[in-house]
Amino acid sequence: MLNISHLTHTYGTGAKAHLALKDITFEVRSGELVSIVGPSGCGKTTLLRTMAGLMPPTGGRVEFLGEPIVGVPEGLAMVFQDYRGSLFPWLSVEANVRFPLKHLGLSSSETASRVLESLAAVGLTGFENRYPSQLSGGMQQRVAIARALAYRPKILLMDEPFASIDAQTREDLEDLVLQVKRRFDMTILFVTHDIDESVYLADRVVVLSKPPTEVLTTIDIPLPAERDQITTKENPDFIRVRGEVARLIRHPAGEEVAA
């Protein structure tokens, strides 16, 4: 569904040039949840912006459904870390979720049923007439997820969506992502700097290096599709893989480990 091949990105030119992405190659297959994890400042946001068509890369190829990405492609939705900045504060929850459907040419009954179904999927039935400021941060991020679901994207890109949300709510939202993935048969690319989150959610984890950024490795996650915050995290495979990812990020091959 998404093919990233030898992607590079340099900000600026000449003496001020900064090579943010050196060589990124990976793919996301239909129905998969792929997470991307890497150290702070390794270029995760740069990578997502190029994949979402918000910024052309300076080298390499990004293809969505076999076509090079030029501009924001149809069939792709994004959920950002900053839910406050991504919802319209003057619109109700229902109107926020309905907003991106306007240009799809749906009938009003189809629009209404998509909005209600998406809000139900994120557990916000009954909150249709509230405004974002009347909701907690976790609930606002649920609205942002519902808005993306209502659009029925072929792929959902999530950019550290739970980074500013408290730990307990974050776990609930991680489980919500797994639920909606199953229910809507979604393909998801999930960017995070949280190693546990990357392993818990994913079918595959792409581990990025420090800048200038390359793919260190891609790991197939050997866990059952059904996950649970307690038992999955006690699973020896989870513990082993999270250790492997942590070692790669903190002490890549060739770097000295302090005694």
Ligand X SMILES: Nc1ncnc2c1ncn2[C@@H]1O[C@H](COP(=O)(O)OP(=O)(O)OP(=O)(O)O)[C@@H](O)[C@H]1O
Binding site residues, ligand X, CB under 6 A: 11-12, 18, 20, 40-46, 193, 211
CA 147 to chain centre: 15
- Please list the helix, strand and coil fractions of the chain in percent, rounded to the nearest 5, in that order: 40, 25, 35
Q: How far is the CB of 23 from ligand X (least distance, A)?
A: 15
d(CA 94, CA 119): 8
Q: How far is the CB of 70 from ligand X (least distance, A)?
A: 20
Q: Where are the beta strands (DSSP E) in 73-186?
A: 76-79, 155-159
d(CA 189, CA 106): 27
Q: How far is the CB of 209 from ligand X (least distance, A)?
A: 11
Q: How far is the CB of 243 from ligand X (least distance, A)?
A: 21
Pair 61, 68: CB distance under 8 Å: yes
Q: Is 241 exposed, middle or buried (0-12, 13-18, 19+ CB in 10 A)?
A: buried
Task: Indicate the residue among 21 and 69 with the shorter CB distance to ligand X.
Answer: 21
Q: How far is the CB of 54 from ligand X (least distance, A)?
A: 12
d(CA 121, CA 194): 25
Q: How far is the CB of 40 from ligand X (least distance, A)?
A: 4
Task: Indicate the residue among 57 and 153 with the shorter CB distance to ligand X.
Answer: 57
Task: Indicate the residue among 57 and 132 with the shorter CB distance to ligand X.
Answer: 57
Task: Indicate the residue among 115 and 249 with the shorter CB distance to ligand X.
Answer: 249
Residue 257 CB partners (closer than 8 Å, separation 6+): 251
Task: Indicate the residue among 54 and 72 with the shorter CB distance to ligand X.
Answer: 54
d(CA 5, CA 60): 6
| Number of residues in the chain | 259
Task: Indicate the residue among 10 and 232 with the shorter CB distance to ligand X.
Answer: 10
